[in-house]
Structure 1
Amino acid sequence: MLAVRYFSRRSPLHFYPCKPTHPSFFSVFFSGHAHTKALENPILYNYLIDNFNYPKSKALTICTRMPWIKTLEKPESVVHFFKSIGFSDAHIQSLIRDVPQLLSADIEKTLKPKIKLFQDLGLSGPDMGNFMCKKAHLLTRSLDNVIRPCIAVLKDILRNDVDNHHLFLVMQRCLWIVMRSPEVRLLPNVEYLKSCGIVGTQLATLLRRQPRLFITPLPKLKDLVSKVLDMGFLTDSKMLAHGLHSFSCVSGGTFRKKLGIFRSYGFSENECMGMIRRSPTLLRTSEEKLKLGIEFFLNTIEAEKSVLLCRPSLLMFSMEERVLPRYQVLNLVNSKMLLKKELSFVQALFLSEADFLEKYIARFPEIAEELLMAYKGHLLVSNGCGVHPPVII
């Protein structure tokens, strides 16, 4: 322990006890050290502040980490290179702020080969800048050991990927999928998913929708698949991939809350699991939307519970944009008794927009304008005609 001398109040000097291990000791020491380094290399320090809007404290830190940059020849050549391939000033500023070490990158050996790979994949000019400025760390990874082999694996899964659209979508959603050697997680996870029966288009769909599953630690991925299988999904079913995607998006607590909502409306646990197996997306549907849907079908129009058990995807339709407008249209048609047989509401909900307009509005030209107004959300009551709910099935 250091001996600490305390002076009297009259002493012109004041020493305060401070051990070398105290945080304030290191902060003072290192800030002073960084400031000294910045003074040794004022060119880089001022360049970072003036051209890339770096805070002074961060500029100080970078100067200490990159003491070999003594002139602006290399940084300016890097900036010129990015401009030459169509990057805007905003793109370059974002790149350098995220990854300042790019200022010392070898253009011929490091940057050009990586940029060319992405140009060959279909990116160029502003599109390349928009992509790279958000994925700057990608330019720090090994081209031959990481980037190229990872992309090869992804392209093999995403077959028939026109213009590599899905490839870039996957990288935008989860950059880490191309940031480590594929032997670490990507390939083992792909092989495991294939062993579970998730192959071909199912594997490609899962990759597009939930790419992070492909870099999840393998033990965790196996545990997740095990839980999905315990819910009744089968390895020889195409629904397994959908179930895995949906279940990976929710926590255990959220899953229990969703089950609680269904139970509060009288559904048993087996019925809940059956609906989830038929429509796994229910797990990713908001609690509010589920409540509104169940309330509408069971209480507002008094549909049988079997309707939702057989077609749980009804709960995923937008109430404002699809369910209520189409309900109003069918109400109006049925109230005017234009058909001998009442229209099926459920069948109407599953029609495309064009088919619905043709089948339920265009076929009644005499009231088409009124039907269109109802479809846009205006609740109409016809002259003295009672409004009768449409047939559900």
Structure 2
Amino acid sequence: MLRLRSSILARLLSSPASSPISQLHRQLSAAAPPITPNHHSFALDDYLVHNCGLTRPQALKVSGKLAHITSPTKPDAVLAFLAGLGLSRADVAAVVAKDPKILCAGVEKTLTPTVIDLAGLGLSRTEIARLVSLTPGNFRRRSLVSNLPYYISLFGSTDNLVPFFKQSSGLLGSSLDKVVRPNVAFLQQCGLRDCDISKLCLSTPWVLSANPEQVRAFVACAEGLGVPRGSRTYMNALDAIAFLGEDNVAAKVEYLKKTLRWSDAELRMAVCKAPNVLKRSKESLQRRSHFFFSEVGLEPAYIARRPVMLCYNLESRLRPRYYVFKFLMVNGLLDNGWGFNSISKVSEKVFMDKFICPHKESAPHLAQDYAKACRGEVPVSFRFT
């Protein structure tokens, strides 16, 4: 019977999306002869392990939420439903572990109508199965069908929704009219496009489901750092603030000023150009400041005007390229117009083409020495003491 129910659901999902719910109900009812439960022999923990694929520790953890289940009737129907969508045994185990209450859901009254409505929105069986896997709790709620079209429009496609749901599925349960739409409208007023908002949600999943006043405070924090709305780096500033948390931004700003010897104006200029400097760890900033000031001899103002330098890898990019830069300078092999910042920011291919390959004859070991420097060694030719 369970295999028959699964095959009927699979056939309906492959049929035109306009198939009426009543047809599905009639076919499921005809395919589902009554099951006589054996209440006395039903052991929930064993059922979760043997029928649902959970490990014994997982079964013990979730069984408390299903203590009212005394028969396999409803869980059997749900498992057949999930199999009919194409979920593997491992997928089913993951779904039950994530949302054990799905085993209590009504197949005819809740799950099947949801599948038909989602198919009516244009979702394929594979997309529906993926949605069940990512957010089984929301799949049990009929609001999923009414809310999903808005999110598909905002994110561009169901494929674009997948990474977000892997981060957080709570958004589907938030009120569209009271929370989500006001937050989206406000972010759009700040100059963010829909694609920007979707990217922001990947790193800051709470931004659309938060209280609108909290989102406004979040935005005000970015503007307080001097990053104007609509600027090229505005979204990066919001992302950095979300990464730190508003309460930690002021402390990080003070640390940047102290470590990099920046004035207030230099700090604002640097954050405006490269907000991601706020995400650098204190240890990372300390090592880079020592390198720039003590080894390279740069001035604080120079770094403030080029703050992206703080985001480059010190050991595999900045230091090896500085060794090459200094070697070329000392040996009169560097063309005019190239400074350390210019050498630091070009791609690896451009760096090799411009500063390594042209000197195969005059400095035959340069490529080898550069490779060693990238591995953390300091070749003799790069020591100028």
Per-residue CA deviations over 1:37-74 (Å, capped at 9, x if unaligned) read: xx96641524235443355585355222x4xx53x243
Q: Secondary structure at the match of 2:176?
A: coil
Aligned match of 1:262: 257
Aligned match of 2:380: 381
Aligned with residue 332 of structure 2, among 314, 328, 337 = 337
Aligned match of 1:32: none
- The letter of the residue matching 2:165 is M
State the shift of 1:316 in Å.
0.8
238-247 or 274-283: bigger deviation: 238-247
Distance 1:364 1:328, change over 3 A: same
Matched, 1:308 2:303: yes
Which residues of structure 2 form unaligned runs of 5+? 1-37
Distance 1:186 1:123, change over 3 A: farther
Distance 1:138 1:359, change over 3 A: farther
Aligned match of 2:111: 111
Distance (Å, rounded) in 1 between the aligned partners of 2:301 and 2:125: 50
Distance (Å, rounded) in 2 between the aligned partners of 1:305 and 1:337: 27
Matched, 1:157 2:154: yes
Distance (Å, rounded) in 2 between the aligned partners of 1:58 and 1:80: 20
C-alpha contact (below 8 Å) 2:147/2:176 kept by paired residues: yes
Q: How many residues align?
A: 336
Distance (Å, rounded) in 2 between the aligned partners of 1:189 and 1:381: 58
User: More helix by proportion, 1 or 2?
Assistant: 2
Aligned match of 1:222: 216
Q: Secondary structure at the match of 2:63?
A: helix
State the shift of 1:133 in Å.
4.0
Q: Secondary structure at the match of 1:361?
A: helix
Question: Considering only CA atoms, is the larger Rg found in Structure 1 or Structure 2?
Answer: 1
Q: Secondary structure at the match of 1:215?
A: coil
Per-residue CA deviations over 1:270-320 (Å, capped at 9, x if unaligned) read: 322221122111111111111111221122211122211111111011112
C-alpha contact (below 8 Å) 2:105/2:111 kept by paired residues: yes
**TM-score relative to the length of structure 2:** 0.75
Q: Within 5 Å, give how 1:244-393 maps onto structure 2.
A: 244-251=238-245, 252-253=247-248, 255-339=250-334, 341=336, 343-366=338-361, 367=363, 370-375=366-371, 376-377=374-375, 378-382=377-381, 387=384
Q: Within 5 Å, give how 1:66-77 maps onto structure 2.
A: 66=69, 70=71, 72-77=72-77
Distance (Å, rounded) in 2 between the aligned partners of 1:237 and 1:47: 57
Identity of aligned residues (%): 20
Distance 1:86 1:330, change over 3 A: farther
356-365 or 332-341: bigger deviation: 332-341
State the shift of 1:327 in Å.
1.7
Which residues of structure 1 form unaligned runs of 5+? 1-38, 389-393
What CA RMSD, in Å, does the superposition of the two structures yield over aligned residues? 3.2
Distance 1:123 1:186, change over 3 A: farther
C-alpha contact (below 8 Å) 2:262/2:304 kept by paired residues: no
168-177 or 301-310: bigger deviation: 168-177
Distance (Å, rounded) in 1 between the aligned partners of 2:234 and 2:335: 43
